[in-house]
Structure 1
Amino acid sequence: MTQRFSGKVVALTAAASGIGLAALERFAAEGAMICASDISLEALKTAVAPLALPEDRLLLRECDVTDIGQVQSFIDDGVRRFGRLDVLVNNAGTGALAYVTELDQEAWHKVIAVTLDSVFYACRAAMPHLARTQGAVVNTASISGLFGDNGLFAYNAAKGGVVNLTRALAVDHAPENVRVNAVCPGLTATPRTAWMMEDTEIRAEYDRRLPMGRPGTPDEMAAAIAFLASSDASYITGVNLAVDGGLTAATNQPAFGRLRKQ
């Protein structure tokens, strides 16, 4: 494993499982000092314990990303502890499966708050520190922010906001040499998507539609996040990178080539 982040400080939200935890592990393996948060501090402590990171490389905080004060404190604590901030990874998100006539106001606002407001709050808190280090932001968006889904309109709206917020912040802060990018995962095998993997009908649909024939892994998403955060991507900003096994490369028309051979 390379040491691209040796001496660097990385802050991550929603880091106790899935893509967030995989990203934490990747940055730690590449030498970073880690400032990580999650809604459950106990879950976060349990998740990172196997890494056995020394105390001088790790700070864990409980943080409700829908609370601007808690997000500000999380960023401030990290900078106070490590003296700098080089990378911010905004990973929190949630969805609601419903049609527009079915979703109540409270559920709508929760999806927007967790998924979109949290990115604004963290970027607002972190940007002055990132400007000093000429750092980078990587947001976890989604292919659902690039296109619409059936029954996921609130999630589509929130992730679409993350996609365009990423572009806008990239433009605003390029003069400060702060890069802002996002990964847009497709189906990824995490605890949150386990119900999809266990539903034979849904899994069969994905198997049919995915050109690579399988879901992505959290480690594959983490690799893309680390790339966008690293100096290897030094001239890349404002990009929303689809990491989806080719799903959004397809028109979803019939598989003419295979059908012709039958």
Structure 2
Amino acid sequence: MNGQLRGKTAIVTGAASGIGRATAALFAARGAAVLAVDRDEKGLLELRDEVAAAGDELAVLAVDLTSAGAAERVFDHCAEVVGTPDVLANIAGRAGDRPAADTTDEDFEFFLRTNLGTTFALSRRAVIAFGDAGGAIVNTSSTFALTGVAGSAPYSAAKGAVSSLTRQMAAEYGRRGIRVNAVAPGLIETPATRAKIAAGVFDDLVTRSRPLPRVGQPIDVARVVAFLASDEAAFVTGLTIPVDGGWSSTHFRG
């Protein structure tokens, strides 16, 4: 698998921590030329050093993806320092727990902007950059987009829209050789979830109710993203693939 992505040039967002960090490092290890993007410059520099220590390399760009013109800046920088991209991994996003009645207009706009808006803007720019040469986009949805979970209305709605966008763009650009898929992570141990996992907050809702009871790790998702970005998935498009230990598709008793 070491050369799975050799010859690919990839943009990975949300790369300073969690799933994005694991994805950027794995892409580099598997041979891709990588531009790692995040607003956390310190985290990006730490990632670059970590990847270099493993004998690989990647370029980094610190930018707030919700800012005006961010997508154009990302793709222009990639072309300048890494090369014209043919893979986009949209990992950046924000989670949060809010029931619909407690969601303000500002809350709703925030979740749409950080999860759907950035994905749309970068994906729109990607199909322009890919041209007629083809390419692959891998988005990040959520298991909360696949099944109803109380208390997460704006986040679930935004991630559901990401899955819908994934299908739509697969239909629109497949004839140009552009594949568009998504991963739907379940409970994954990241800096954002680690404290709650340690406190047992998710034990009943998630961990004990799925057939694979361990907590997911960022690398579990990154490996699926790498597959979808690679030529091994050359006949796969328009799908949202759960990476959740079976939580969204099964009910476990025991």
Q: Are residues 1:62 and 2:35 paired?
A: no
**Contact 1:63–1:71 under 8 Å retained in 2:** no
Give the Cα–Cα distance (whole angstroms) in 2 for the partners of residues 132 and 249 of structure 1. Answer: 37
Structure 2 counterpart of 1:226, one-letter code: A
Structure 1 pair 199–57 and aligned structure 2 pair: CA distance change class (3 A): closer
Structure 1 pair 2–151 and aligned structure 2 pair: CA distance change class (3 A): same
Shift of 1:62: 1.3
Q: TM-score, normalised by structure 1?
A: 0.91
**Contact 1:85–1:133 under 8 Å retained in 2:** no
Give the Cα–Cα distance (whole angstroms) in 2 for the partners of residues 226 and 7 of structure 1. Answer: 13
Q: TM-score, normalised by structure 2?
A: 0.94
Structure 1 pair 53–79 and aligned structure 2 pair: CA distance change class (3 A): farther
**What is aligned with 1:5?**
5
Give the Cα–Cα distance (whole angstroms) in 1 for the partners of residues 19 and 69 of structure 2. Answer: 25
The aligned runs of 1:212-223 (5 Å cut-off) are 212-223=212-223
Q: Are residues 1:159 and 2:159 paired?
A: yes
The aligned runs of 1:26-45 (5 Å cut-off) are 26-45=26-45
Structure 1 pair 68–179 and aligned structure 2 pair: CA distance change class (3 A): farther
Shift of 1:165: 0.2
Give the Cα–Cα distance (whole angstroms) in 1 for the partners of residues 153 and 139 of structure 2. Answer: 20
Q: Are residues 1:105 and 2:102 paired?
A: no
Structure 2 counterpart of 1:160, one-letter code: G
The structure where helix makes up a greater share of residues is: 1
The 4+ residue runs of structure 1 with deviation greater than 3 A are none
Shift of 1:173: 0.4
**What is aligned with 2:119?**
119
The aligned runs of 1:221-236 (5 Å cut-off) are 221-236=221-236
Q: Are residues 1:76 and 2:59 paired?
A: no
Which deviates more, 201-210 or 111-120?
A: 201-210
Give the Cα–Cα distance (whole angstroms) in 2 for the partners of residues 132 and 29 of structure 1. Answer: 27
User: What stretches of structure 2 of length at least 5 have no aligned partner?
Assistant: none
**Contact 2:94–2:114 under 8 Å retained in 1:** yes
For residues 115-136 of structure 1, the C-alpha deviation after alignment (integer angstroms, 9 at most, x for no partner) is: 0000111011111222343110
Shift of 1:114: 0.5
Q: Are residues 1:209 and 2:234 paired?
A: no
Give the Cα–Cα distance (whole angstroms) in 1 for the partners of residues 159 and 201 of structure 2. Answer: 26
Structure 1 pair 182–35 and aligned structure 2 pair: CA distance change class (3 A): same
- 3-state SS of the aligned residue for 2:27? helix
- 3-state SS of the aligned residue for 2:59? strand
Q: Are residues 1:93 and 2:93 paired?
A: yes
Give the Cα–Cα distance (whole angstroms) in 2 for the partners of residues 58 and 47 of structure 1. Answer: 9
Structure 2 counterpart of 1:6, one-letter code: R
Percent of matched pairs sharing the same residue: 34
**What is aligned with 1:19?**
19
Give the Cα–Cα distance (whole angstroms) in 2 for the partners of residues 5 and 202 of structure 1. Answer: 35
**What is aligned with 1:140?**
140
Give the Cα–Cα distance (whole angstroms) in 2 for the partners of residues 173 and 52 of structure 1. Answer: 35
Shift of 1:206: 2.5
Shift of 1:4: 1.9
Which deviates more, 79-88 or 196-205?
A: 196-205
Give the Cα–Cα distance (whole angstroms) in 2 for the partners of residues 73 and 91 of structure 1. Answer: 17
Give the Cα–Cα distance (whole angstroms) in 2 for the partners of residues 53 and 167 of structure 1. Answer: 38
